[in-house]
Each structure stands twice: as structure tokens, then as C-alpha cells.
Amino acid sequence: MDPSPFHFYTERRLVELTAIKAHNLQELLADLKEAPGSSIFYHTHHRFLAHHFQKPFVYNDFAVWASAAVQTEELAEKLGILDLRRFTSIRQLRETIVAIVEEYLRQTDGHLRSALPGHEFHFCKSKSFIMPTGIVAETPAALATTVPAITNVSLYFHFVEARLRMERATNDFSQWLRAWGAQSLAQEIDSIDPYALTLDELKQAIVALVHKHGVA
Amino acid sequence: MTAPLLQQYEEVVGSEVMQELSVIARHVGKRRMQNINSTPVGGGVAELLGRMVPLLRELGVDATWDVIKGNQTFFATTKAFHNALHGKPIDLTGHMLESYRETTEMNLREINFTGDVIWIHDPQPAGLIAAKTRIGRRWVWRCHIDVSSPDQRVWKFLKPFVDQYDSAIFSMPDFAQQLSIPQFMVAPSIDPLSDKNRELDESTIDQVASKYHLDRERPILTQISRFDRLKDPIGVIAAYRLVKARRDCQLVLAGGGASDDPEGFEVLQEVRNAAENDRDIHVLLLPDGSDLEINALVRASTVVFQKSIREGFGLTVTEALWKKKPVIGGDVGGIRLQILNGITGYLVHSPEGAALRTLQLLADRELRRRMGENGFQHVKQNFLLTRDVKDHMLVMLALEHPDEDVVHAD
């Protein structure tokens, strides 16, 4: 008997406010240690889902704030270059961000700006509702036709959220493909860097790999 | 015959958005949503509920709307609360607090609480939470006010009520408070089908422009705002003069209702004095119910200003962006969420900045077109009523999962 089909889900989200805010880097550091894990995830990821009129230089809120609100460009660059693929848990991601900010603060002599009133960093998080889309891929080959039909939010859920927020170690497609014995396709899909692509480009990359492997 | 609401909205936002609302409405199912506010007409909340409740009902959600009663003293008290929550110091008296408590008691006796989820809008009915110990249910306090720096005495009076709710909703992250309950952000929205925002034909726009002696052959700069110093109308006139020295243009400063607001009347006089009989400055005090005219004035404009010194969210910006107008706004409050600098308009810090950006825009039709298109898309994706309705339904679901960040709603 074949393994079960792949059911596509999608996500709807509300932004939850934590009332934690930072006026300067010292406060940001303290808050980074205390804020909920879902808040760290939110501020490193929510921009990937937003519509952009211009492709952003960085997607990470901490980097954006370090540059725009407290004018610490060097720190912004160090935070902006973080390779989110390296992380399989929010704990690791948080520790890395904390270490970068701590190191930066060590190198400066406290001559740091505070954000102007109204430009403080407000920690938020998202509350996500996972709902079935009704779209189903019966076999690995069906990914070639179903992936283009799903929304970007659905793709984001299965590729990005599943791996880091749900801590499933891989994306949902690769996990499912392994159950079908499609090991090399699973491996190649898992090696795509979703953070370097738009979600539309990610769809195309997955479909291209399915065609390349000629799975049935 | 008018088409069903769902069909009318689908024509504006597309089928994908409406399908999404239907899916979420199915998850909300039979849960009844009862809204309670302080007035059936006038003001942003009544406007929102008047639009949102019918749409929710057409989506199959059992949404209703009730209004509390109160006497003049009560409403004078809650108006003072409103100003204090905006950060304006007030003289908080025992008499005021007594009036608030008495009116709350009266409404607790009179209101029939029918909802499974009871949505209380703004501070006026916030005390109704007292019914929770008797009837249970889930309670949401939806705060539509800018509470980024509230007067602490008034906030301390209200906070014990708010802490008893299951959840509080604020319009922006800056408004979040130290509370013991979950807080969500639901950004404000505009209704694309309302008189203030719907499409108008050119002849209607021409008629309104001609009624107010505007020349559509020359650039029109417009700010729509009540006459309030925080909206900086004098700064707008200063910016206009700097522009006018280099390029012919007209200025419209239009706003409503100063009758019950002595300060508003004073500001209106200041604005008229500053206009100094310049025939190209049009200071328009519009009566209630001028939505269609405001719509036409914005559509007739070349560039729209919202040069506020302080701002809550700034729905006038949303309304102008929706009409594909580049907006020049003060770098404050919710204007920053809407004017993506250089993309949907420009954020400025002085009349000089506003003038520079206006000159740039007047000289470049293609830039105005591009920014207008971007602004329209930005509002379409983030600040329309349909998104507000979606968030309200998600809050209904969220209340049942207070401790989960990820809710599987199969």
C-alpha cells in the first residue's frame, strides 16, 4: 500500500502584542532574553510573508531597527546576514542573536543612541490558525501540479514554519517524500534556501526538482 | 436591485479574499458575536460596526450590535476620558467617576447579553464586564483609541475593568499596555463601498470641485482633517506658500464639526487668518454627512497632505492612498505604517520638507502615478474592512486557545 497523500494546509494569523518594548540596545538585549520564542520567530520571519514593493535588503526586524532607529549599521549588517537555515530551533536562533548583540555592546563604550519617541522596538508574536486547504497531492509526481496551485502562505507554512517553528527538522514536503522512498528528491528540496528566494521562486524551484527527478 | 454584499466586496477585493473569509466564518460557526458601543451614529466605531455587522451576517456569522444609554454628564465624562487616554491632562473628579459607575449599573440592568463572545468597544461601556461573573461568556475589549501615552489616573481607573476581559485589542503595537490578558493588534480599516471611498464618476468630481471654486486644470493640494493644532494646518499653509512661490497651485483644507469644540473653532479662525484672503486657499468647514464631497475633493487632488504632529492611526491617509493619491505626511504614529517612504508617499518633518516633496511630485506625473498605484495596493492588502472582519473572526477563535501560539483548526 502506498503511503498516505499530502494534505496542504494554510495559515491565518493574528498579531499578538507582548507590551515588551526597547528604547535602546541594552533594553533590546534584555528583552531578547526574556521575550517568548514565538516573538523571536515572528521578528525574524514575518517580513517574508509581507508584500514588498521593493525586495528588502534585510528581512529581520532586529536588523531593520538597529539600522533605522538606533543607527548601528554594523550591528544591523551582522544581524541581517544571519543564515536562518542553520537553525532548527528557536532557542538556537535566540542565543545567536543575543550573542551578536552582546558582542556588539562589548565593542562599544556605551556611546549608543536611544530610539526617538515613537520608534521603540515593540515585541510582537503571531498566533497562527492552521486550516486545511482541501488541496491534496496523491503522489510525489502530483506536487508538480499542486504546488503551483497553493497560496504563498500555505507554502510558507509547509516549508518554513514546519521546520523552525514546529521544529520538525525538515520541511513537510521532504519528510513526506522520504515516506514514499523518494530520498534524493527529498534531499534536494531540503537543500533549497527559502530565505534567498521569493515564495513564488520557491514554488518554481520545487516544481523544477520534481520534474528533474521524474518521480511517479 | 443592489447586489449581495459578498458580491460587492468580491468585485473590489477579489474572490480569494472572500473565499478565505467564508472558510474562517465556517470555523466561527454558531458562535454569536455581540458588539456593544456607545453610539449608533457618528464617529469611527459606529461607522465600522454599521459596515462590519452586515458583512459578518452575510458570511453566516451571528453578529449583533447594541448601544448603551447614558445622560449628558456620562458622555461629558467619557469624552474627558477619551481626551485623557490621548494624553491630554484632565481634571478627574469624584463626580465623573460616580456618573460612570451609575450609568454602567443602569446599562447592566437593561442590556440583554446574548453573545457567546461579547465585544465591548472603547471605554464608555467597558464597565459592563461586571456582568461576566454572573453570566460568564467570553469578553473582548476593543480599544479604538490611541493609548500610547495615556493620562495615568484615567488609565488606572479603567485598567481593573480591562484586566477582567479575556482579551484586549489595540490598533497598533505602540498602544500595547501592561495587562494580565492577551492583547492582539487589529489595524483599523476603511470600507471601499462607503460614500467616503467608493469610486466616483468624473462628472461628480467636477461638480464638487466647481461648487468649491476649484480649478481642475491647476494642481490641487489637499488636507482633510478636523481643525486641530495636532494636524498642523498652519504648517500646511506654510508648505503651500513655499510651493506656490515656485509653482502655481491651490490648497484645500477641509474638515468637519467644530460646533461643540471651542478649540476647533479657535483653530479654524487661526487657519482663516493665516490664509490671508489668498483666493487659492480654500478653507472648508463641511457639515456631517459630507462623505461624498470629501471623497470627490480627494479624488480631485494632485497631492494629499496629512502633516500631523501627533497621530493615532490616520485613516485620512488610508482614504487618500485608496484613491491612488501620493500622500505627504508627518513622520508620526500610524502614518508611518501607511506611508512607505518613497513608495506610497513621503514622510516629512517640517513645512519645508512637505514643500520640497510637493514640488518633486508636481514635477513628475509618472512618480505620482506609480506612488498612487502602490498606495492603492498597500491599502488593498492591509487596511480594508475585509481584513478587519477576518481579524475579528480570528479573535473569536483565539479566545478558545489562550495558551497556544499555533492552533490547529481542522
Cell digits for B86? 490621548
Cβ of B394 within 8 Å of Cβ of A12? The answer is yes
- Does B388 contact chain A (CB < 8 Å)? no
CATH 3.40.50.2000 residue window(s) in chain B: 5-189+384-398, 202-382
- The reported pLDDT for the residue numbered B94 is 93
What pLDDT does B138 receive?
98
| A13 beta partners | A128
How far B185 CA sits from the closest chain A CA (Å)?
Answer: 5
Spell out which residues of chain B touch residue A162, defining contact as CB-CB under 8 Å: none
Cβ–Cβ under 8 Å, residues B163 and B132: no
Distance from CA of A86 to the nearest CA of B (A): 23
- Residues of chain A numbered 3-32 and touching chain B (CB < 8 Å): 12-19, 21
Mean pLDDT of A75-101: 93
With cut-offs at 50, 70 and 90, classify the pLDDT of residue B43: confident
Q: What is the mean pLDDT of residues B21-49?
A: 93
Strands A121-137 and A6-22: antiparallel
Range B214-239 average pLDDT = 96
Q: Are B115 and B64 in contact (CB under 8 A)?
A: yes
Q: What is the mean pLDDT of residues B200-228?
A: 97
Rounded CA-CA distance B208/B197 in Å is 15
| pLDDT (mean) for B260-270 | 82
In contact, A146 and A135? CB cutoff 8 Å: yes
A19 vs B177, B186, B344: nearest CB? B177
Cβ of residue A52 closer than 8 Å to a chain B Cβ: no
CA distance A213 to chain B (A): 32
Q: Where is pLDDT greater, at B215 or A151?
A: B215
Among residues B188, B165, B189, the alpha carbon closest in space to that of B177 is found at B165
Q: What is the pLDDT of residue B209?
A: 98
pLDDT of residue A110: 67
Q: Of A14, A120, A132, which has the smallest distance from its Cβ to B391's Cβ?
A: A14
Residues B199/B331/B288/B255 CA torsion (nearest 10 deg): -100
Average confidence (pLDDT) over B285-304 = 95
Cα separation, A50 vs A67, in Å, equals: 20
- Give the pLDDT score at B259: 54
DSSP H or E stretch at residue B255: strand B250-256
C-alpha cell at B10: 468580491
**Strands of the B63-67 sheet, one edge to the other:** B63-67, B33-37, B117-121, B138-142, B167-170, B183-185, A6-22, A121-137, B406-408
- Three-class SS of residue B394? helix
pLDDT confidence tier of residue B316, bands split at 50, 70 and 90: very high
Q: What is the pLDDT of residue B83?
A: 87
ipTM for this model = 0.89
Closest alpha carbon to A91 in A36, A28, A17, A128: A36
Over 60: is that where the pLDDT of B260 sits? no
pLDDT tier, A109 (very low <50, low <70, confident <90, very high otherwise) = confident
Distances (CA, A) of A48 to A200, B294, B327, B374: 11, 37, 26, 19
What is the average per-residue pLDDT within B50-57? Answer: 96
First to last CA, chain B: 38
Q: Which of B320, B317, B318, B319 is nearest to B329 (CA)?
A: B317
Enumerate the β-bridge partners of residue B143. none
**Band (A3; pLDDT cuts 50, 70, 90):** confident
Give the span between the Cα atoms of B228 and B220, in whole angstroms: 22
Distance CA B398, CA B410 (A): 14
What percent of chain B is modeled with pLDDT above 90? Answer: 88
pLDDT of residue A48: 87
Residue A216: which pLDDT band, with cuts at 50, 70 and 90?
low
Fold classification of B202-382 is Rossmann fold (3.40.50)
Residue B257 has pLDDT above 80, yes or no: no
Contacts of A132 in chain B (CB under 8 A): 410
pLDDT, one tens digit per residue, over B150-159 is 999 999 999 9
For B183, which of A19, A54, A151 is closest by C-beta distance?
A19
- Interhelix angle B5-13/B44-58, nearest 10 degrees: 110
Task: Look over chain B and give the mean of its residue pLDDT values, rounded to a whole number.
Answer: 94
Choose between B79 and B346: higher pLDDT: B346
The answer to whether residue B117 scores a pLDDT higher than 90 is yes
Rounded to the nearest angstrom, the minimum Cα separation between B56 and chain A is: 18
The arithmetic mean of pLDDT across residues A48-55, rounded, is 81
Best B22, B155, B406 member to test A by mutation, with max A CBs in 10 Å, is B406
Segment holding B252, helix H or strand E: strand B250-256
Residue with cell 465624562: B77
- A128 and chain B in contact, CB less than 8 A: yes
State the pLDDT at residue B1.
59
> What pLDDT shows up at residue A85?
86
**Yes or no: is domain B5-189+384-398 CATH 3.20.20.70?**
no
Distance of alpha carbon B103 from alpha carbon B131, whole angstroms: 14
> Which triple of cell numbers denotes residue A90?
528557536
Question: Shortest Cα distance from A125 to chain B (angstroms)?
Answer: 8
Chain segment A136-166, per-residue pLDDT in tens: 999 999 999 999 999 888 999 999 888 887 7
Taking residues A187-201, report their average pLDDT.
91
pLDDT band at B264 (very low <50, low <70, confident <90, very high): confident
CA-nearest of A9, A1, A14 to A158 is: A9
Please, are residues B264 and B228 in contact by the beta-carbon 8 Å criterion? Answer: yes
Confidence of residue B383 (pLDDT cuts 50, 70, 90): very high
Task: Give per-residue pLDDT as tens, B177-201.
Answer: 999 999 999 999 999 999 999 999 9
Helix (H, G, I), strand (E, B) or coil at B70: coil
Predicted local distance difference test score (pLDDT) of residue B258: 46
Query: Per-residue pLDDT averaged across A51-71, rounded?
Result: 88
- Chain A, 159-188: which have a CB under 8 Å from a chain B CB? 165-166
Sign, CA torsion A45/A46/A49/A55: negative
Percent of chain B with pLDDT over 70: 99
Query: Which residue type occupies A173?
Result: F
Measured between CA atoms, the residue of chain A closest to residue B172 is A17
Tell me which chain A residues have a C-beta less than 8 angstroms from the C-beta of B27. Answer: 129, 131
pLDDT for the residue B324: 98
